Amino acid sequence: MIPVSDTHRAPNNAVTFVLDLRIYELDAVLRAAYRFVDGFYVDLRMKDPHSIQVRLCPKSGEVSDERALAGEFHNELLHCVLRRSVLRETKGVREMILGRALFGALVDLDERSLGLSDPNRLRHEAPADSMTGYAKDAAGIARDWFQ
């Protein structure tokens, strides 16, 4: 739980607290803050190079428990930090899967062998000696997923 001294109710029923940017990336703070814009006016201010002040002012009603609200923000912030971490860790795998999926979806036409008169003929209908792209892939690395 967040210490009472770190969170306080400001004028206009706003709740303010300070975040350490050595722990949380600014991008994660912005993403977490965005999740609160439906119910709150969000004000972010740099206190110094290593800290940012978050001010949440309710659009309607009052905040009954400022510690709970700050805790919800911190939980959302943790979610954003971990999500960014997972995205960084899995970037290579996601790029490989996407590249493989896009490569398998390519339709490579050999205009010399097909001619322009029949645009409905696909690569696999062209003569074997004129094929290019993954059709000449002897190791089968670029083989279509559905074959």
- Judged by DSSP in three states, 15 sits in strand
Query: What local confidence, expressed as pLDDT, does residue 136 receive?
Result: 64
How many CA atoms within 13 Å lie on the side-chain side of 104? 13
Sheet holding 14-20, edge to edge: 7-10, 14-20, 51-58, 40-48
Query: What local confidence, expressed as pLDDT, does residue 13 receive?
Result: 82
Of the candidates 59, 28, 63, the one whose C-alpha atom is nearest the C-alpha of residue 44 is 28
Domains (range + CATH), the chain: 4-89 (3.30.70), 92-133 (no CATH)
Query: What local confidence, expressed as pLDDT, does residue 142 receive?
Result: 65
Query: What local confidence, expressed as pLDDT, does residue 100 receive?
Result: 83
Going from the C-alpha of 29 to that of each of 35, 116, 130, the distances in angstroms are: 10, 55, 55
Query: What local confidence, expressed as pLDDT, does residue 61 receive?
Result: 83
Query: What local confidence, expressed as pLDDT, does residue 81 receive?
Result: 94
Query: What local confidence, expressed as pLDDT, does residue 20 receive?
Result: 94
Strands 40-48 and 14-20: unpaired
Query: What local confidence, expressed as pLDDT, does residue 19 receive?
Result: 94
Give pLDDT < 50 ranges for the chain: 1-5, 109-113, 122-126
Query: What local confidence, expressed as pLDDT, does residue 103 receive?
Result: 78
Of the candidates 79, 67, 80, 82, the one whose C-alpha atom is nearest the C-alpha of residue 1 is 67
